[in-house]
Amino acid sequence: MKVELQNLTKIFPSRNKKSGEEVIAVNNFTFTIPDGKLIGLLGPSGCGKSTTLYMISGLQKPSGGKIFFGDDDVTELAAENRGVGLVFQNYALYPHMTVKQNILFPLQNLKGADKLSKDEMLDRAYNAAKLVQIDELMDRKPSELSGGQQQRVAIARALVKMPKVLLLDEPLSNLDARLRLQTREEIRRIQKETGITTIFVTHDQEEAMSISDMIVVMKLGVVQQIGKPQEVYDDPTNLFVAKFLGTPPINVFEGEVKGEKLYIGDAAVLDVAGVDDQPVTVGIRPEGFVLDPDGPLTCNLNSVEVMGRDVSVVSTHAASVNPTVRSIIDADNQVATGATVRYSLKPHKVFLFSKADESRIYFGVKSDG
Amino acid sequence: MVESKHKWKAWLYLAPAIILLIVFTVWPIINTVRMAFLEGYNQTAVVGGATYSFGIGNFTKVLEYKGFLTCLGNTMLLCVLTVPLSTILALLIAVCLNAIKPLQRLLQTIFFLPYVTNSIAIGMVFAAMFNMVGTAFGGENELIITSGIINNIIEFFGGVPINWINSGSSYAANMVVMVVYIVWNALPFKILILLGGLQSINKQYYDAAKVDGTPGWRVFSRITVPLLSPMLAYVVITGFIGGFKEYSSIVGIFGEDMGPAGEPGKLNTMVGFIYDSLVTQQGRASAAALILFGIIFVVTMLNMYVSKKKTHY
């Protein structure tokens, strides 16, 4: 089922009546989620991603805009009639019911033509349980399950009624690191097997990038960028998106463009064709540095962290906005243990942003080899 | 550990409470048991030098005494009628209160008022409300006939006034008044506990139920009630314990005669029986108190047993 959001807006009235300041949680969100895709809503806390999810679920009413499931306008439809499956951040499993009763619960609510016989219900509950691999835990209470197992039960409960859309609110935030890795692959697998359009909310960019077909990066209620994870990573539209995606995070420098050359400090580090002279903010991905004894960018070497596959070089630079500059280079490279380290830069890993509004300034790369 | 070093200090700090408990709780309990097993024990006679032999005569006498069975019957009936009724009503009111936003605080306060009001005073108001005929008032020839407000309402709707509590009233009418009064009096505490319980239920359960299209009655029966079951169990258990100790409510409405004019003791309860025996027959009173304790103990155990099976903690 295709999900279409048109100018979706949510305004929360101010708590303080005197100041009358409203909070715009979601501002003019327009996006069409293609059928059968896994979409990650990504942003820091308070960016409106959960509010968007709850508006799609019907638990919150939009202040403006429209929501379509397929061709049906569901904006005014109550949550119970939308046919969505929702997995809550802390799962909200009914603690007094067994796993089986929890999964059966949505089925027992079906009325009229959708009403199922007892056997059909059990059948579907067991199928859903098998899908998330908890069919052996059916008679346990939620309190007797681990976090990961509870998560699976919550997903099974959301899937059992065969929802048109599956919504997951921070599905992995309550799991430990190892389980998180495993579960996110699991969510991907389940989504692929069922083909249900799935939207999930996360503040963890790695999580979103790793399993989503598309990611939506949000900030203060405004969508910053929508695209395939790799595209957004490789081609951020503004400084916020560039900073938000990637671990280790992007290195940010104060720089200046003079005569189509980018200066960081006094050194001209890169040719930037087609950019007017102006001060700029420079973002350089950690993997955008190349060790080069004659390289234009000279940093003071702090430490070298060996991580097996590759090496992380921590250094400082006067023009760096962050306290340290972190680069990641292949472990085959020998890092000189001098006082300074010199780099040349990979042009496609370097992004320029306007000082005024942090938007991206594109530059042409000279193709001289 | 630190505690072993200053054990005497701990005892010192506990001493005031322990001494008071021993003097006013532990010793009276022991003394009650002692008096219950001394045949025909009478405090005033003890002062005169009387001695008593050990035996279970007090208990057999209590059980044989016809008035005791009336008291036991009244108490049981009041418990069985008022506890379920007040619990169900309190649950409904608490759920409704929890569902509304405006006026919630105000209504909560209003519902809580009976709790902080003297039960004898409330009883007198109830007695006035359920009155049949007025009393002679003022001078010799002045007779003002007043009907209670309840009978006024019945008359307004064209009904025949009922003799609720006055001389010659029926047992059923008396019981209705008592049940209404006790339920009304028991509501505030129960509403308070249940409302507190409701407010501590995670809202996400309701959101989850809503997304799954759960009808309201099913949300209530499958989610609210089970999640509220620890509070319900608490309210029922304390309700039964309180119900078995019912006394002042009857005094409030019928006075110390414990019944309508001309029929003293008609609505007497276990505690009333103990009170009546206390003046001259401390042995019998003690035995009755122990019997009451035994009944409460058994009923509470039964309650706990049932609630353990039905309660989700």
pLDDT surpasses 70 at A206: yes
The count of domains in chain A is 2
Residue B219 forms part of a structural domain: yes
End-to-end Cα, chain A, rounded Å: 47
Chain B residues with at least one Cβ partner in A under 8 Å: 202, 204-205, 207-215, 218, 222-223, 226-227, 229, 312
Does one domain contain both A100 and A120? Answer: yes
The enclosing domain of B304 has a CATH number of 1.10.3720.10
**pLDDT, mean of residues B129-155:** 66
Residue A367 in any domain: the answer is no
Question: pLDDT for B239-255, tens place per residue?
Answer: 999 999 999 888 888 88
Residues A76 and A195 in one domain: yes
pLDDT band (50, 70, 90) for residue B197 = very high
Q: Does A109 touch chain B (CB under 8 A)?
A: yes
Q: Which residues of B touch A96 (CB under 8 A)?
A: 226-227, 229, 312
**A91 and A169 housed in the same domain:** yes
Both A188 and A309 in a single domain? no
Domain interval for residue A232: 3-242
Q: Is residue B57 part of a domain?
A: no
Same domain, yes or no, for A115 and A176?
Answer: yes
Nearest to B215 among A85, A88, A109 (CB): A109
Pick the residue of B212, B231, B310 with the most A CBs within 10 A to test the interface with A by mutation: B212
Chain B residues with beta carbon closer than 8 angstroms to that of A97: 222, 226
* pLDDT top residue among B228 and A20: B228
Among A86, A90, A115, A157, pick the best mutation site for testing chain B contact (most B Cβ within 10 A). Answer: A86
Higher-confidence position of B168 and A277: A277
Cβ contact B211–A79 (<8 Å): yes
Q: Is the pLDDT of residue A342 over 70?
A: yes
Give the span between the Cα atoms of A275 and A185, in whole angstroms: 42
Partners of residue A78 in chain B, C-beta under 8 Å? 210
One domain for residues A301 and A348: yes
In a domain, B23, yes or no: no
Does A162 reach chain B within 8 Å, measured CB to CB? Answer: no
Helix (H, G, I), strand (E, B) or coil at A303: strand
First CA to last CA distance, chain B: 33
Last residue of a domain, one of A242, A258, A284: A242
- Looking at A197, A215, A242, which one is the last position of a domain? A242
Q: Is the pLDDT of residue A367 over 70?
A: no
A196 and A265 housed in the same domain? no
CB-based contact A109 B226, cutoff 8 Å: no
User: Does position B137 have pLDDT exceeding 50, yes or no?
Assistant: no
The answer to whether A13 faces chain B, any CB pair under 8 Å, is no
Q: Is residue A366 part of a domain?
A: no
Residue A32 belongs to a domain: yes
**Most B CBs within 10 Å, among A51, A59, A91, A111, to test the B interface:** A59
Residue B139 has pLDDT above 60, yes or no: no
Residue A367 has φ and ψ, to the nearest 5°, of: -100, 70
Which chain A residue shows the shortest CA-CA distance from B225? A96
Count: domains in chain B:
1
Residue B7 lies in a domain: no
DSSP string, A107-165: HHT--GGG---HHHHHHHHHHHHHHTT-TT-TTS-GGGS-HHHHHHHHHHHHHTT--SE
A202 and A342 belong to one structural domain: no
Mean predicted confidence (pLDDT) in B266-280:
88
Residue-wise pLDDT for A148-157, tens only, equals 889 889 999 9
HEC readout, chain B = CCCCCCHHHHHHHHHHHHHHHHHHHHHHHHHHHHHHCECCCCHHHHHCCCCCCECCHHHHHHHHCHHHHHHHHHHHHHHHHHHHHHHHHHHHHHHHHHHCCCCHHHHHHHHHHHHHCCHHHHHHHHHHHCCCCCCECCCCCCECCCCCHHHHHHHHCCCCCCCCCCCCCCHHHHHHHHHHHHHHHHHHHHHHHHHHHHHCCCHHHHHHHHHCCCCHHHHHHHHHHHHHHHHHHHHHHHHHHHHHCCCHHHHHHHCCCCCCCCCCCCCCCHHHHHHHHHCCCHHHHHHHHHHHHHHHHHHHHHHHHHHHHHCCC
Provide, as residue numbers in chain A, all residues whose Cβ is less than 8 Å from the Cβ of B312: 95-96
Which residues constitute the domain of residue B232?
A: 65-130+165-310
Q: Are the beta carbons of B224 and B205 closer than 8 angstroms? A: no
Residues A63 and A201 in one domain: yes
Residue A227: inside a domain: yes
Q: Residue A251 pLDDT more than 90?
A: yes
Model pLDDT, residue B136: 43
Choose the final residue of a domain: A223, A242, A261. Answer: A242
From chain A, pick out residues whose CB is under 8 angstroms from the CB of B226: 94, 96-97
Tell me if A12 is assigned to some domain.
yes
Q: What is the CATH number of the domain that holds A111?
A: 3.40.50.300
- What is the tens place of the pLDDT at every residue in B52-108? 888 888 899 888 888 888 999 999 999 999 999 999 999 999 999 998 888 888 988
- Best of B101, B211, B232, B308 to substitute, by most chain A Cβ atoms within 10 angstroms, is B211
Closest residue, chain A, to B207 (C-alpha):
A59
Same domain, A238 and A259: no
CB contacts of B227 in chain A (<8 Å) are 95-96
By the CB < 8 Å criterion, does A68 face chain B? Answer: no
